[in-house]
Amino acid sequence: MTNLAPTIRLNNGREMPTLGLGTWKSFESDAYHSTRHALDVGYRHLDTAFVYENEAEVGQAISEKIAEGVVTREEVFVTTKLGGIHHDPALVERACRLSLSNLGLEYVDLYLMHMPVGQKFHNDSNVHGTLELTDVDYLDTWREMEKLVDLGLTRSIGLSNFNAAQTERVLANCRIRPVVNQVECHPGFQQRQLREHAKRHGLVICAYCPLARPQPARQWPPFLYDEHAQNLAKKYGRTTAQICLRYLVQLGVVPLPKSSNKARIEENFRVFDFELSPDDVAGMEQYHTGQRTVPFSGMSGHKYYPFNDEF
């Protein structure tokens, strides 16, 4: 019997595994092989996006593992995201159907608005858009996303890269509540205020870059390489990456570590059979710098740019 991650209950009653495979910057064959291996290991939560340009490969891996009897569709929690070029309300349903076609699925479990900032639509193949930003109100986009739940195209909808004020604006005006906010979160950027805000409002924080895009040549970030991190890893008989992921899990955050390395995909998943002491959890707070690794600085002048606020 494969060991699975525990699940967390979302505000609509659905269950989401508390750790997932991230696929940002997993290109084509990497995304395919990573997803296949992750499902064999026990991952049941997979995170992709239209702009990652790997939905087809992730979907192919899922369909093969269903055919092999490794998983059923109902056992896999699949997230994808609405790209900035599809914020125009007239494009939302078509964009979701395009992602479903890429994935080869009839529905996704979670569909996120990737950013509150929209980009000008030229064509679907212009995946990353341009820095021609639009003034489409994310509330108008959200109302179209709500209809995707009605249509059965997604089970849940949520936010990504929204700040607290933007989240509250959605909550005050929505018919269907967002279940998560997916944001950068790791020991170097701990999102304490946003986590507390999300908890008060019944949203789960999912963490992209939960290991902050490590740079081994620079021995960066410190929480993977410094003496304190090494000592913690020795104390628990784990790797420093496992300590970081376990830390996030204990904060109630759902980490989405990305790897295309088979051994690391397995290692990242093995964080549910040990627990950090309260003192060691508190000790991780020393690593918070308040510095993002993904600031989306090209959008910083836009009225809906989320990171000008403190949280």
* Binding-site residue ranges: 114
Q: How long is the chain?
A: 311
Element (H, E) at 112: strand 108-113
Contacts of 75 (CB under 8 A, 6+ apart): 44
* Whole-angstrom distance, CA of residue 216 vs CA of residue 93: 42
Binding site, annotated residues for substrate: 114
Cα dist from 57 to 40, 99, 264, whole Å: 16, 12, 20
- Exactly one of 43, 52, 138, 208 is catalytic; which is it? 52
Bridge partners, residue 254, by sequence: 206
Is 225 a known active-site residue? no
Residues 32, 185, 195: CA angle, nearest 5 degrees: 125
Tokens representing residue 231 in the block: 């000592």
Q: Which residue type occupies 250?
A: Q
Q: Which residues are catalytic?
A: 52
